Amino acid sequence: MSVELGINPLTWTNDDLASLGEETPLETCLAEGRQAGFAGFELGHKFPRDPEVLKPILNRHQLKLVSGWHSLFLLDRSVEEEIENVQEHLNLLKAMGCKVMVTCELTHHVHGNQSVPVAHRTPFPPARWGEFAEKLNAFADYTLSQGVRVAYHHHMGTLIQNERELDELMNRTDSQVGLLLDTGHLTFAGADPVAVARRWSDRICHVHCKDIRADVLRDARNSKLSFLDAVLNGAFTVPGDGCVDYPGVFKVLKAADYSGWLVVEAEQDPVVANPLAYATLGYRNLQNFAREAQLI
């Protein structure tokens, strides 16, 4: 596939903090996302999970389904249990024509707990890398056999958060485990998205375009905020409205002949950051960056 521009419904309504955008119906998200210019949406908690129900809704707005998040618990489950657990989600993605599945190991995660500072998250247990890599390879083998590639999401507040842990994951797993490059989470974790993209360009199969307000990030770190409190304070924003070097990242993607989705995923408080205004700004900036890099 060529490169397409999509958005996550976090701009309107938040999966980790349901009070954000709780009153906003799915129809508003889809209508405004399409109005802003996007070709597709990732799944959110307000989306129906029956493809026969979801297809006509998206078709009515001339939108595609981009992908959807699956929470892994491979440190607590067997591969067989994880495969059984993913079936309904995998079948939905397959039916909707999705090529990647966003996945993240959530054993011991704290990103959804507003009372726990992200600085206090549990790092990956070194003794379990071999086991985890073997399990993730096997799980990714299965989903790929069904036509959907794992796109592993390094994420603040989870076991695989920083650059060292991400490198360890990529070094220990095989190519069926794709990388979801999230520019915002890398920056939050203190990494350089351009350097990480360059190092793992052959594994990148999905991209989340989340920008960072550097002053808010500094305060979040100094104040040892939880992930959700950093969100509420405005740490994240849309591409081009923060400090991330998108021309540099996209130059790497172009050199690697990247094919797939570029997804605006910038959770903010919708009362403070008007969703349509920020979706429109995000689309315009993302389109400009992608055009300048000749990705579209």
* Residues 24-42: tens digit of each pLDDT: 999 999 999 999 999 999 9
Q: Which CATH class is domain 4-292?
A: alpha beta
Residue type, 70: H
The identity of residue 217, as a single letter, is L
Q: Which residues pair with 7 in a beta bridge?
A: 41, 264
Q: For residue 198, give Cα distances in angstroms to 33, 153, 187.
A: 30, 17, 15
Q: What is the pLDDT of residues 48-59, one digit of tens each?
A: 999 999 999 999
Other CB atoms within 10 A of residue 156 CB? 23
Distances (CA, A) of 19 to 31, 97, 144, 252, 272: 21, 31, 35, 37, 14
How confident is the model over 217-260, as pLDDT tens digits? 999 999 999 999 999 999 999 999 999 999 999 999 999 999 99
pLDDT tier at 60 (50, 70, 90 boundaries)? very high
Rounded to whole angstroms, how far apart are CA atoms 279 and 49?
24
Closest by CA position to 267, among listed 7, 31, 14? 14
* Of residues 96, 79, 88, 95, the one with CA closest to residue 140: 79
Cα 170 to the chain's mean position, in Å?
17
Quick: pLDDT tens for 140-194.
999 999 999 999 999 999 999 999 999 999 999 999 999 999 999 999 999 999 9
Record the tokens describing residue 216, joined without a space. Answer: 């808010």
**What are 55's two structure tokens?**
């297809």
